[in-house]
Amino acid sequence: MCGIVAYIGQREAYPIVLKGLKRLEYRGYDSAGVALINNGLQVYKKKGKVAELENHVSGKDMRSHIAIGHTRWATHGEPSDRNSHPHVSGNGKLAMIHNGIIENYAQLKQELLNQGHIFKSDTDTEVLTHFIEEIQKSNHCTLEEALRIALKRVVGAYVIVIVDEDNPDTLIAARKGSPLVIGVGKGEHFLASDASPIVEYTKEVVYVNDYEIAIIKADELILKNISNERQTPYIQKLDIELAAIEKGGYDHFMLKEIFEQPQTIFDSLRGRLDAKNGTLTIGGIREHAEMLSKAKRIIIVACGTSWHAGLVAEYMIEELCRIPVEVEYASEFRYRNPVVGPGDVIIAVSQSGETADTLVAIESAKEKGAIILGVCNVVGSSIARLSDAGAYTHAGPEIGVASTKAFTAQLAVLCLIGLKVAIVKGSITQQRFQHLLDELDHIPEKVAAVLKLNDRIKEIAAKYKDARDFLYLGRGYNFPVALEGALKLKEISYIHAEGYPAAEMKHGPIALVDENLPVVFVATRDSYYEKVVSNIQEIKARKGKVIAVVTEGDQVIPGMADDIIMVPEADELVAPILSVIPLQLLAYHIGVLKGFDVDKPRNLAKSVTVE
């Protein structure tokens, strides 16, 4: 979703901002723009890729020591040059970039239209720019003061950054709900929606909090709250390396991230799982394990791939802890006035830690007295900070829009949480606990074995890439894996794909089955295996093409299926971590073979920061 970059300091600002915009391309966007001060305010913006903006400004004098840049993901108004950011005030002096949504923009716009303002775009951002200008004019106040007054009237979520032609040595920024990171250099500052544009310049960062305004000069950073009180900037050290946000020899970030999984799963277990000594330590929930073991129910809220991880966790936690678990789409949970309050435990699962629906869902649950646990990947993210406790997934930066390594790390961490609660509660035997610790301990090497099947999966991808639809089926722990496989394919190959519980298939999707429909079965050996075999026969009887992910040594399904992918044997509770990997690779290869940009699929955003 929208990406924000800004720079102020001694260096040339435009190249830094441009490079930053390229680093943020992974978030998903449809237009880009920059503003700088060079003989007055200069604004350049273009629908399309950052490279098109780069061409558009080529040959222009872009020298400046202050600049703001933006990648836009359209919300108000179609993607177009005029709707792209930055937006400029009526007097042409202020330029603003914005991430988020101003919900009461229509009302503000009407007031401004009545006062004679003329708008050039359909955006809420331009309205806010004019609104601030109008306050500045009628109150004869500074930009900072006008911003403060404006934000008290604004409803919605935002990060904004403003440059002012009359103050070319100052950037002003504010945040509510959307993330803003400020990199602190020597005599320079870098601003961005996430750390990726900053990491090559400085490791010292400040995360701006909600309702804070930052006044940033080359050598000074002042933070104030909305009541104009100075706040102490808390400088944190970034723990990511530049290599983590580069492709490292792979064709795509998605492939790199799929192949990183033996390491990222290991990292998510490291320091927590000690299979040899039979112990499990999760520092982030240590003080809450007892409370969790007494929870009457657990509600998991998430979106997208993280929601699928939540579904697997439902099976894991119910089995291990005997606590009822509900898994909710964050957006639905928030707005249906759910029955939630003290005694409820909410687990928010989110790679980015910034997904707006998940964030507002936990905000409202927290207000009602629920305890919030966060399972996030991005350290210091909004959901992580709002949570009462939690565990990071430690998968490292995920750049490919289609989530892969974050999913398997989420499964690993949710399994650890389930095991911890179960052992505290006494709901599993010591023997089963030890067995599952051993199973998890061996998962990274088994994942590495699955990745060796890449060439075979590429052949299967070539065989089926022209199919119009796909069906993905699984039961039990493998049902959410089927959903995730279908989502991966949709996201990056634009082929229509549906995931279904294999038995439920008889109540509808079976009508789609003919010789043209590839049906992917996730059919590893588990307690549902015999039933899944029957479901495969039902598909074959109707001439469907079956691609099956099975356990090594399976003697039955290879005799029925058209294509087989064999993964190592694993306990059914941890098997999803293995069985999802062939589906990630299948989607990847089909997307690439069809010629699509798998890292930046159309219309999708990596981090969905609007509700």
**What are the residues binding ligand G6P (CB under 6 A)?**
303-306, 350-352, 355, 358, 401-403, 604-608
Question: Of the candidates 509, 531, 511, which has an alpha carbon nearest to the alpha carbon of residue 522?
Answer: 531
User: CA of 1: how far to CAs of 80, 257, 285, 608, in Å?
Assistant: 16, 20, 31, 6
| Shortest distance, position 303 Cβ to ligand G6P, whole Å | 4
CA-only gyration radius of the chain, Å: 25
Does the bond joining 233 to the residue before it have cis omega, within 30 degrees of 0?
Answer: no
User: By C-beta, is 352 or 584 nearer to ligand G6P?
Assistant: 352
Question: Which residues on neighbouring strands pair with residue 499, listed in sequence order?
Answer: 472
Distance of closest approach, residue 581 Cβ to ligand G6P, in angstroms: 16
Strands laid side by side in the 545-551 sheet:
496-501, 469-474, 518-522, 545-551, 563-567
The nearer residue to ligand G6P, 433 or 494, going by C-beta atoms, is 494
Q: Give the residue with the Cβ less far from ligand G6P, 457 or 487.
A: 487
- From 23, 53, 43, select the one nearest 193 (Cα to Cα): 23
- Give the nearest distance from C-beta 540 to ligand G6P in angstroms: 33
CB–CB of 128/102 below 8 Å?
A: yes
Minimum distance of ligand G6P from residue 430's CB (angstroms) = 34
What DSSP designation does 507 have? G
- The β-bridge partners of 175 are 159, 212
Shortest Cβ distance from residue 304 to ligand G6P (Å)?
Answer: 3
Phi, psi of 47 (to 5 degrees): -70, 145
Q: Which residues fall within 8 angstroms of residue 83, CB to CB, at 6 or more apart?
A: 31, 72, 74, 76, 77, 121, 122, 123
SS3 484: helix
> Rounded to whole angstroms, how far apart are CA atoms 268 and 341?
31
Q: H helices within 241-355, ranges in order?
A: 253-259, 261-269, 289-293, 304-321, 330-335
Of 135 and 386, nearer to ligand G6P (C-beta) is 386
- Shortest Å, Cβ 575 to ligand G6P: 21
- Strand pairing report for 31-37 and 41-47: antiparallel
Chain-centroid distance of CA 301 in Å reads 14
Count helices and strands (H / E) in the chain.
Answer: 18, 27
Alpha-carbon gap, residue 303 to 313, rounded angstroms: 14
Indicate the residue among 317 and 362 with the shorter CB distance to ligand G6P. Answer: 362
Of 36 and 417, nearer to ligand G6P (C-beta) is 417
Q: β-strand 563-567 against 545-551: which pairing, if any? A: parallel
Closer by beta carbon to ligand G6P, 129 or else 305: 305
Tell me which residue has its CB nearest to ligand G6P. Answer: 304
Q: Which is nearer to ligand G6P, 89 or 99 (CB)?
A: 99
- Please, which residue, 371 or 610, has the CB nearer to ligand G6P? 610
Tell me how far, at minimum, the Cβ of 384 lies from ligand G6P, in Å: 11
Indicate which residue of 2, 303, 321, 376 is catalytic.
2
Q: Are the beta carbons of 610 and 1 closer than 8 angstroms?
A: yes
Q: Which two tokens stand for residue 164?
A: 């002012």
- Shortest reach from residue 330's CB to ligand G6P, in Å: 8
Cβ 527 to ligand G6P, closest distance in Å? 28
Please tell me the distance from the alpha carbon of residue 306 to that of residue 403, in angstroms, as a whole number: 9
State yes or no: is 446 an active-site residue: no
CB of 401 to ligand G6P, least distance (A): 5
β-bridge partners, 84: none
40: buried, middle or exposed (CB in 10 Å: 19+, 13-18, 0-12)?
A: exposed
Closest to ligand G6P by CB, 129 vs 403, is 403
The verdict on whether 19 is a catalytic residue reads no
Closest CA to 421 of 280, 302, 240: 280
Q: Which of 45, 49, 490, 606 is catalytic?
A: 606
31, 123, 195, 208, 517 from 605: Cα distances, Å: 13, 19, 17, 22, 29
Q: Which residues are catalytic?
A: 2, 606
